[in-house]
Structure 1
Amino acid sequence: MKKHFLLITVAPFALVAPAMANETVPAAPVVSNTDAKPEGQDQKAPAKKGTEEVFSTGVAKGRDRLDSATSTSALRASEVDKIGARSISEILRDIPGIRAEASTGEGSANITIRGLPIASTGAKFLQLQEDGLPILEFGDIAFATADTFLRADLNLAAVEAIRGGSASTFASNSPGGIVNFISKTGDTEGGAVQLSAGLDYGMRRVDFDYGAKITPTLRFHVGGFYRDGEGPRATGYNSTHGGQIKLNVTKEFDGGYVRVYAKYMDDVTPAYDITPIAVSGTNLKPVYKNIAGYDVRHDSLFSKNFQSQLTLNGQNQPVRDDVTAGQHPIVKSIGLESKFEVAGWDLTEKFRYADMSNHYMGIYYAQFVPAAAMPAAFGAPGGSLRYASGPLTGQTVTNPTTLNGNGLGALMMLADTDLHSLQNITNDIRASKVWKLGDNDLTTTVGVYSSRQTIQSDWDWASVLSGISDNGDAALLDVVTPTNIKVTQDGTLRYGAPTPGQFRRTYDLATTTNAPFASVNLKIGGVAIGGSLRYDFGKTEGTVFGADLGGGRVGTVAKDINGDGVISVPEMAVAYTPARGAPVDYNYGYLSYSAGINWRIAEPLAVFARYSRGGRANADRIQFSPLVSTLDGSMIDKDAAVDVVHQAEAGVKFRNDNLTLNVTGFWAKAEDSNLDSTTGQPLLRDYKAIGAEFEGSYRMGIFSITAGATYTDAEIVKDVLTPANNGHTPQHQAKLIYQVTPQITTDKFSVGAVFVGTTGSWATAANTLKVPGYTTTNAFVQFRPLDKVTLSLNAANLFDVVAITAIDDAVIPAAGVARAHVLNGRTISGSVRFDF
């Protein structure tokens, strides 16, 4: 019925169809013709700023950034190509105010903005959009974050980001901000083919795109990529393969246009997640370094000797899952978008149906111990270790203290998660009109947003024992008692989580969101005063299954999972999905508002101030917690259904032909009802943050530089479940993050670097173990020997810095090896591009 409601909502507009032109096709010079042209023709000194820079994401109507009381940034496609980002989260690292922990590969990144917390994984308070609509309604779905389903290729025209401000009222569940990835639409004819390869890592890739006019009023654009290779870290196998293709067709007419678009993505990339790192010193002054025989920047816990794993699927049937699957998102989407005029009103309509799924295979939890201690630690005092995979299978590890040169073993919890359906149906319709009040303009906007997000997943986890080795060469380990009884089976300690019955879950949920919204903006000379309202009301319903729900549900059974006729030790307590689930059935509603004033003091100068209130509804993250009743599915704590964010900001903007400067002060207060990413335990916290943000650019001849910096002082105001954390700094929160990009550009070449850095942070909310800061450097050279031919060399993390984004331990572990999340080390790629 909910799906029918959405289809009925869009049906009257399907013939004249799709979306907010102002948000989907940004006007020059934000994107400008430079991004639609073949890139080989776009490498002169950056075009001078015009009198306007139209920005349209997260606002009622696109307008010059100096006339809007918002904090915004935009990256052109040509700049994205230069910075050498290997993933969406690495692109986001180059946007002021955004903290993106790009350590997991091409998906599942932790992303936040302006001091709002990262308590769990994903992007809770920041929304990622593609062409003006959210990729997922909730950006922190477990093992299916929004960046997992998005790829940057030659289809990309620009990236727009709004921080705070009206993001609260012009999108649902996005109080912190919006980042919109905007596609080319064929308005400039031509295309390109680009061939790329990793020079010091395994990557082969081909990209293409082409756009043209079919008739004077009908145009199209098509593009995509395919790649394969081992990837930026050693796994021992071809862990990266797949790609995507996107197509759109646009029909223009007097007063508007109609666009139809589609996307198919099928891409496999590794989920690096946890990696071991040696740590010594003290908690306040720790010293981190590589363990012997393993490099955190270039190695992973995956191995060519561990490529499949027995488990029970969601129907409790034995299956052998592919460990090399990594993150395997599949997206099949189709959308409509339109703009037209009716009785002086500009109507924009956008609709998208996306059939999405993902198979996540990563190491979600690990415990690192000396290999010699593993028999005693895992149920076989006085026992021994045997190789359970690889060329030495069945042989005894004769000297565990020298195993792989480091003498270490790992208990690894394999987060084998099938996300069968993340179907997303979204519709946004709005109407705007500019009224003349004497010499002044009054702009009014009204609209309705509707979406339905499903979450259908099975957690089919397993726990294995392994050595730690470089080059993807580790082997699984069996623990054997002195009487020759194996405590493990082919390296598997548990068919489930290390604690029997824990984290064996099934989710079958759907959340429907509806939100009417309206705004008004009055422009009196150089002063613009505006306000907007949005009311979100939604319903989450479905069923969840798992022994974690309690109530006598049994989470383990004895089962001959490998079919050999013998119940081994691990098969005595196989994780099992109980037949009796728990209902989920609750409604929520919340009001968002935003009000601001902007004064264009002079052509190059403006000042602004804004106050906003927004919210973020909670979906799967609060299930299996005391917040939701297992009897009737209602919210026990009604307030936990929605986390509210209050924000204030004030700033100064300056822009002339060669110099742009933006300085903004901000304050934020946020609630968070969540599950802690390091402990898996529920949390209820209130946070506050205050800070300042700088963004600027300068151009002089062939030289240009862009820079950004954000200073944040954040605090846990109240931790309901752990009051000892009150007054502490939130985990992962640095005082300062910054980006600097100097470059030289001529007709024949471009050369430059991207410096991105952060000061230190705390590993956990306990504020006991420090995580050091770092600065990474991406360098690029582009050479154009012939017209329409570009040769490029790009080095990410040029100086091979050990950049730790997070540590999962509250103190230095007794074994001296911490659970770390680290950015990739140096990767150098080369490419040749042919434009036509």
Structure 2
Amino acid sequence: MAETMPVAAPGDADAQPASSHKDADTVTTGVAKGRDRLDSATSTSSLREADIAKLAPQSIGELMRDIPGVRSEASNGEGNANISIRGLPIATAGAKFVQLQEDGLPVLEFGDMAYTAADMFLRADLSLQQVDVIRGGSASTFASNSPGGIINFISKTGETEGGAVALSTGLDYDQYRADFDYGMKLSDTLRLHVGGFYRQGEGPRRTGYDAQKGGQIKMNVTKTFDGGYIRLYGKYLDDRTPYYETVPLRVTGTNGDPQYSAVANFDPTRDSILSRYNQSLTLLGPDNSVVTDDVREGQHAIVKSLGVEAQLNVGGWTVMEKFRFADIGGRFVGSLAPVIMPAAATAATYGGVGATLSYANGPQAGTAITNPAGLNGNGLLAATTFQDRRIDSLANVTNDIRASRTWNIGGGELTTTAGFYASRQSIDTNVMFTTKLLEVRGDGRAALVNITNAAGQPVTLDGVLSYDIYFAPGRARRRTYIDYGINAPFGSVNYHIGKVAIGASLRYDFGSVNGTLFSADAGGGRVGRVSRDINGDGVISIAETRVGITPLSAPAPLDYDYRYLSYSAGVNYRIADAFAVFGRYSRGARASADRILFTPSLSQIDGSLLVPNAAYDPVRQAEIGAKFRRSGLTLNLTGFWAKAQDTNLDTGGGGVISRQYRAYGAEFEGGIRRGIFGLTAGATYTKANIVADGVNAAVIGNVPRHQASVIFQATPQLTTDRFSLGAVFIGTTGSYAQDTNLLKMPGYVTTNAFVQFRPMQRLLLSLNANNLFDVTALTGVDSAAIPASGVVNARVLNGRTTALTARLDF
């Protein structure tokens, strides 16, 4: 594993697997009121602390790979994973149709904001009690912007007294980490929990510097009283992690049967484009003055949040109130998909015929590259654009209040719920770019390279091709000040009589979007590129004629409203105590947020909506399933159908997306426990197609990119009082790299193995290996077909990494 969340202690009530916990079969996320899973017409799962520790997730995205029905492309590091559920599309990046929550409220209102997805601001440590998931169903009506499902990260709240300290170290990679948590009763009605972590090191891939540094602390205090409780909680996260993006791979064979392999001197699962010789970016800052920023910032997440949660009984009604303010900011500095070419062709492309190459820095600074074809054994150079995104504020304030009451009517129970949700989400960011030329070399030692044309003029300046996106002159450099307001009344009824439960729910979202945009992309003659003496030597070099600038004197407004109705209805029939069947139909939607900025959907003159149906994307879903649970055996089987619209902007390719998708399939989840042996498993079969496309009709009927027919998980294990031994297998069948359905990506299975041993009562030692067999697992390829160069940019999961953890409970 590359980032081990310290193992849970067997016997700890806050750390038992879901199958053994008394509340493990109660649904609480995405529903009106908690009830037994066999009495709920929903598809749900839970991962508890012990399960998560055995998986040994490298990130939140890696953790979600072990949840049935969830597709998580977790190759970018500790943030910006691409996440979806049950065949809903991942047309660009992030988690558009899935909401990530922390203690029942969204981390971010929109899960796919450009390069600032919600998982970037979440961490798993000893303060995490469990992860609850609802797929489809009432997720559409009990949260905004979550038609595909809700993934809720639930914190410990001090029910169990005592704590733990865990120390971890990488055995074949550089990382040191310390975790702690502690819960205690301050009185008979007052309890406290505090937990967190700190870590530092290079991380699972070689970068040439400490790319991971930081941690978090979380605390909550709960006061109980007759009929309810009130809880105050807070979190401080300040954590810096690298963004890995794509790596080069050679590809041979045919589009239908490609063979992928590493290029010489670059390990795709252990190396990255990051380097000790490329730690700074010089460009024009937010106010268009020259600044030098730090590449090591990577994905730097800063969160300061305070919240309150309360439950009380008033006149027979149970009232639940949740409120949180989160001050979210930080930085994103990372490479975007580089243009990789043979070194000689690179010199000619950017410098013209007769251009030469030399090292711009590093041990061979100033030395001519006389044999470009033999450079580093691969003969390649990468023209790499680095994005410098200053996240000045993603602050949000959220309130969810609901009241439920159960009535005895006609021999059954009628549960009614009414509530109101209000949220305000800010997007205050500045985005700048620089394009540099680097050698393709691993071990965190890639140097910058200069080009000199045949006339002896330097085409680059200290390895910089342009102080902008070289390939999109004057475009995509943006400054945004946006506020999203979301209000949503909602309600539900559920009637439970005998073996039958019938329920329905409604939600009405109405939102407002206001703000100001600064970018040449807003049109109207706005200038996005100028000449500027960046290094102050009094001479404008060729590279200095390509300087990105933000047109601060020419703002564009943003001003529109939207509204939509969501609904869900289902019936559950508990045929026997151990067996139930259910069916459900739902309609939800997802507001489009910043992904439609700078597209034809919006007027760049007055900020109004020119394409009304671009404001939100509806999702319709149907599911029918069966559930069985008895004596250590659990089996769930669900058939599903979904149809979704997606209005989007591909931040990689820059193209507008306007599509409709359809998917259907079946989902299996089960577990068995017999003596010391246990097995949990899940698999999802999906058949998905693009059924309409307003931009490119040629892809209609094709399978969406990255959509595999089958994804699966399995965890066999042996557990005694002294030790646990097992593995987590996660895999996928093959898929297409792009929507054109030409180049294929192979399927794979990764294996995360674990051994836990207790030499004495309060001490637990754990050895975890992530991707034990060092599989090259591709989650994405940027090319639609095998290119003439035979080299593609690919997103790859981390290779084998192992760590040792010692945990002391007290």
What's the TM-score once normalised by structure 2's chain length? Answer: 0.98
Q: Is the 8 A contact 2:318 2:403 kept in 1?
A: yes
The 1:294/1:453 distance shift into structure 2, 3 A limit, reads: same
Q: Residue 676 of structure 1: which of 631, 635, 650 is its match?
A: 650
Q: Residue 612 of structure 1: which of 556, 573, 586 is its match?
A: 586
Shift of 1:471: 0.5
Q: Which residue of 2 aligns with 1:21?
A: none
* CA distance in 2 between partners of 1:554 and 1:139 (Å): 31
* CA distance in 2 between partners of 1:557 and 1:295 (Å): 38
Shift of 1:47: 6.1
My pick for the range that moved more, 42-51 or 745-754, is: 42-51
What secondary structure is seen at the aligned counterpart in 1 of 2:613? helix
Amino acid at match of 1:194: A
Q: Which residue of 2 aligns with 1:666?
A: 640
* CA distance in 2 between partners of 1:736 and 1:203 (Å): 34
What secondary structure is seen at the aligned counterpart in 2 of 1:376? helix
Deviations 1:310-359 (A, max 9, x none): 01111111110101111001000000000001000000000000000121
Amino acid at match of 2:801: T
Q: Is the 8 A contact 2:632 2:673 kept in 1?
A: yes
Q: Residue 338 of structure 1: which of 292, 310, 313 is its match?
A: 310
Q: Residue 93 of structure 2: which of 100, 121, 133 is its match?
A: 121
Deviations 1:514-564 (A, max 9, x none): 000000000011100000000000011101111112211111111111222
Q: Is the 8 A contact 2:8 2:15 kept in 1?
A: no
Q: Is the 8 A contact 1:209 1:224 kept in 2?
A: yes
Q: Which residue of 2 aligns with 1:514?
A: 487
**Structure 2 residue 186 is matched with structure 1 residue 222:** no
Shift of 1:52: 7.4
Q: Residue 534 of structure 1: which of 507, 510, 514 is its match?
A: 507
**Structure 2 residue 231 is matched with structure 1 residue 259:** yes
Shift of 1:365: 2.2
Q: Which residue of 1 aligns with 2:771?
A: 797
Q: Which residue of 1 aligns with 2:67?
A: 95
Q: Which residue of 2 aligns with 1:647?
A: 621
What secondary structure is seen at the aligned counterpart in 2 of 1:92? helix
Shift of 1:379: 2.7
**Structure 2 residue 213 is matched with structure 1 residue 202:** no
Q: Which residue of 2 aligns with 1:79?
A: 51
Q: Is the 8 A contact 1:380 1:480 kept in 2?
A: no
Q: Which residue of 2 aligns with 1:372?
A: 344
Deviations 1:107-137 (A, max 9, x none): 0100001000001110000000000000000
**Structure 2 residue 808 is matched with structure 1 residue 834:** yes
Amino acid at match of 1:276: P
Question: Matches of residues 265-304 of structure 1 in structure 2 within 5 Å?
Answer: 265-304=237-276
Q: Residue 825 of structure 1: which of 799, 803, 806 is its match?
A: 799
* CA distance in 2 between partners of 1:676 and 1:574 (Å): 24
Q: Residue 363 of structure 2: which of 380, 391, 394 is its match?
A: 391
Q: Which residue of 1 aligns with 2:666?
A: 692
* CA distance in 1 between partners of 2:576 and 2:21 (Å): 16
Q: Is the 8 A contact 1:515 1:535 kept in 2?
A: yes
**Structure 2 residue 592 is matched with structure 1 residue 595:** no
* CA distance in 1 between partners of 2:490 and 2:569 (Å): 14
**Structure 2 residue 556 is matched with structure 1 residue 582:** yes
The 1:50/1:576 distance shift into structure 2, 3 A limit, reads: closer
Q: Residue 746 of structure 2: which of 772, 775, 785 is its match?
A: 772
Report the aligned-residue RMSD. Answer: 1.4
Q: Is the 8 A contact 1:144 1:358 kept in 2?
A: no
* CA distance in 2 between partners of 1:226 and 1:692 (Å): 41
Q: Is the 8 A contact 2:15 2:129 kept in 1?
A: no
| Aligned length in residues | 802
Q: Is the 8 A contact 2:24 2:46 kept in 1?
A: no
Q: Is the 8 A contact 2:635 2:671 kept in 1?
A: yes
* CA distance in 1 between partners of 2:352 and 2:419 (Å): 65
Q: Is the 8 A contact 1:36 1:187 kept in 2?
A: no
Question: Matches of residues 175-574 of structure 1 in structure 2 within 5 Å?
Answer: 175-498=147-470, 499-574=472-547
Q: Is the 8 A contact 1:455 1:509 kept in 2?
A: yes
* CA distance in 2 between partners of 1:731 and 1:588 (Å): 30
* CA distance in 1 between partners of 2:18 and 2:361 (Å): 55
* CA distance in 2 between partners of 1:201 and 1:649 (Å): 44
Deviations 1:176-197 (A, max 9, x none): 0000000000011010000000
Q: Is the 8 A contact 2:562 2:615 kept in 1?
A: yes
What secondary structure is seen at the aligned counterpart in 2 of 1:430? strand
The 1:801/1:506 distance shift into structure 2, 3 A limit, reads: same
Shift of 1:776: 0.3
Deviations 1:439-482 (A, max 9, x none): 21000000000000000111111111100111011101111012
Q: Residue 141 of structure 2: which of 121, 144, 169 is its match?
A: 169
* CA distance in 2 between partners of 1:510 and 1:761 (Å): 38
Q: Is the 8 A contact 2:19 2:632 kept in 1?
A: no
Q: Is the 8 A contact 2:557 2:606 kept in 1?
A: yes
The 1:44/1:125 distance shift into structure 2, 3 A limit, reads: closer
Amino acid at match of 2:756: Q
* CA distance in 2 between partners of 1:495 and 1:811 (Å): 30
**Structure 2 residue 46 is matched with structure 1 residue 57:** no
Amino acid at match of 2:334: G
Q: Is the 8 A contact 1:426 1:452 kept in 2?
A: yes
Q: Percent identity?
A: 58
What secondary structure is seen at the aligned counterpart in 1 of 2:351? coil
Structure 1 consecutive aligned stretches of length 4 or more whose deviation exceeds 4 Å: 35-52
* CA distance in 1 between partners of 2:514 and 2:16 (Å): 55
Q: Is the 8 A contact 2:16 2:50 kept in 1?
A: no
Amino acid at match of 1:570: A
* CA distance in 2 between partners of 1:777 and 1:344 (Å): 51
**Structure 2 residue 721 is matched with structure 1 residue 741:** no
Q: Which residue of 2 aligns with 1:158?
A: 130
* CA distance in 2 between partners of 1:46 and 1:623 (Å): 43
Amino acid at match of 2:770: A
My pick for the range that moved more, 562-571 or 439-448, is: 562-571
Shift of 1:676: 2.2
Amino acid at match of 2:502: I
Q: Which residue of 2 aligns with 1:784?
A: 758
The 1:251/1:832 distance shift into structure 2, 3 A limit, reads: same
The 1:38/1:221 distance shift into structure 2, 3 A limit, reads: farther
Q: Which residue of 1 aligns with 2:608?
A: 634
Amino acid at match of 2:750: T
* CA distance in 2 between partners of 1:523 and 1:365 (Å): 54
What's the TM-score once normalised by structure 1's chain length? Answer: 0.95
Deviations 1:734-759 (A, max 9, x none): 10000000000000000000000001
What secondary structure is seen at the aligned counterpart in 2 of 1:516? strand
Q: Which residue of 2 aligns with 1:32?
A: none
Amino acid at match of 1:309: L
Q: Residue 701 of structure 2: which of 724, 727, 735 is its match?
A: 727
* CA distance in 1 between partners of 2:291 and 2:78 (Å): 27
What secondary structure is seen at the aligned counterpart in 1 of 2:38? helix
Q: Is the 8 A contact 1:49 1:656 kept in 2?
A: no
My pick for the range that moved more, 476-485 or 423-432, is: 476-485
* CA distance in 2 between partners of 1:517 and 1:46 (Å): 30
* CA distance in 2 between partners of 1:812 and 1:568 (Å): 36
Shift of 1:49: 7.1
